[in-house]
């Protein structure tokens, strides 16, 4: 009988297993680092996109605030004259002057920034992408001011304006105003101030108490408008500060 000699595979040393484990570990770890780095880069890119969008919105808001401030500068003296018109109605033959009335009715001063980027950051849970604590804090403070004081004041201005309009509806004869409006629409001359002011709006009452109530509504409108003016100045300052901070931290060109 032939005897076969069995060959034995040499037993691997423990160091061999150690190096195999180490190589596998390093491969997995490097893959993890690469994926982590890739995710980090993507988040950084998204962060910059959000901030670029926010910077653009802030620039637009600054322009709107400037328009609001200019409107109020024109509207405030007109309201003062309109108050005198109503308070001393007898001196004006109990009629409202179109040059003040038209300006007041055509001027909608309040502007409420919609802040879509900030809302998207919050609603999607992506506020965490904003790595700089100073930027995040400034964004939250800006949003709180807009949604708090500025929007509340804007609502007060709108309500005060509508109270003035309600008194006009109640106490004035709109017959000639309706005629002028029809003419303007047919002739397309509404942008011409001479045509816009060419109507009579007589008061239907001479009761001093009711006229005083009407006049007081104009004073309240002016008061809320003054508060909104000061809050708009504050909003403009906060917007400028936030925009400058974003431009500095993310190396954007000045958007103003």
Q: What does the pLDDT look like over 145-173, one tens digit per residue? A: 999 999 999 999 999 999 999 999 999 99
What tokens does 171 get? Answer: 């106490």
CA dist 212 and 83 (Å) reads 9
Distant-in-sequence, close-in-space partners of 165: CB < 8 Å, separation ≥ 6: 105
User: Do residues 108 and 225 lie in contact, with contact meaning Cβ atoms separated by under 8 Å?
Assistant: no
Closest to 121 (Cα-Cα) out of 39, 52, 64? 52
| Residue 19 pLDDT | 63
Is pLDDT larger for residue 212 or for residue 106? 212
pLDDT given for residue 255 in this prediction: 54
pLDDT value at residue 1:
47
d(CA 236, CA 254): 16
User: Bigger pLDDT: 224 or 99?
Assistant: 224
Q: Which has the closest alpha carbon to 105: 196, 206, 170? A: 196
Question: Mean pLDDT for the chain?
Answer: 83
Contact 162, 156 (CB under 8 A): no
pLDDT, tens digit (0-9, with 9 covering 90-100), for 4-19: 555 555 665 656 556 6
Largest CA distance in the chain: 142
**Is the pLDDT reported for residue 2 higher than 60?**
no
Instruction: Give residue for tokens 């309201």.
Output: 79
Q: Which residues pair with 96 in a beta bridge?
A: 201
Confidence at 34, pLDDT banded by 50, 70, 90: low
CA distance 219 to 80: 8
Structure tokens at 154: 């804007």
H/E element, 79: helix 14-87
Bridge-partner residues for 203, per DSSP? 172
């Amino acid at each position: 009988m032939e005897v076969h000699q069995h060959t034995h595979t040499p037993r691997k040393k423990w160091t061999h297993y150690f190096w195999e484990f180490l190589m596998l570990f390093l491969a997995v770890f490097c893959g993890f680092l690469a994926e982590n780095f890739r995710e980090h880069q993507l988040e950084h890119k998204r962060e910059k996109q959000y901030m670029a969008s926010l910077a653009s919105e802030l620039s637009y808001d600054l322009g709107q605030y400037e328009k609001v401030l200019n409107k109020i500068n024109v509207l405030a003296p007109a309201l003062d004259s309109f108050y005198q018109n109503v308070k001393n109605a007898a001196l004006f033959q109990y009629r409202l002057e179109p040059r003040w009335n038209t300006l007041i009715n055509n001027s909608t001063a309040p502007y409420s920034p919609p802040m879509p980027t900030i809302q998207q950051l919050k609603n999607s849970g992506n506020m965490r992408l904003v790595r700089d604590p100073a930027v995040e804090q400034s964004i939250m403070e800006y949003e709180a001011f807009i949604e708090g004081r500025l929007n509340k004041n804007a609502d007060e201005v709108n309500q005060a304006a509508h109270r003035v309009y309600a008194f006009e509806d109640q106490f004035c004869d709109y017959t000639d105003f309706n005629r002028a409006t029809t003419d303007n629409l047919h002739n397309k001359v509404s942008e011409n101030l001479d045509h816009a002011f060419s109507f009579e709006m007589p008061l239907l009452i001479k009761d001093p108490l009711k006229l005083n109530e009407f006049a007081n509504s104009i004073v309240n409108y002016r008061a809320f408008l003054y508060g909104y003016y000061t809050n708009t100045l504050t909003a403009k300052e906060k917007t400028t500060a936030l925009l400058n901070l974003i431009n500095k931290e993310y190396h954007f060109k000045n958007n103003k």
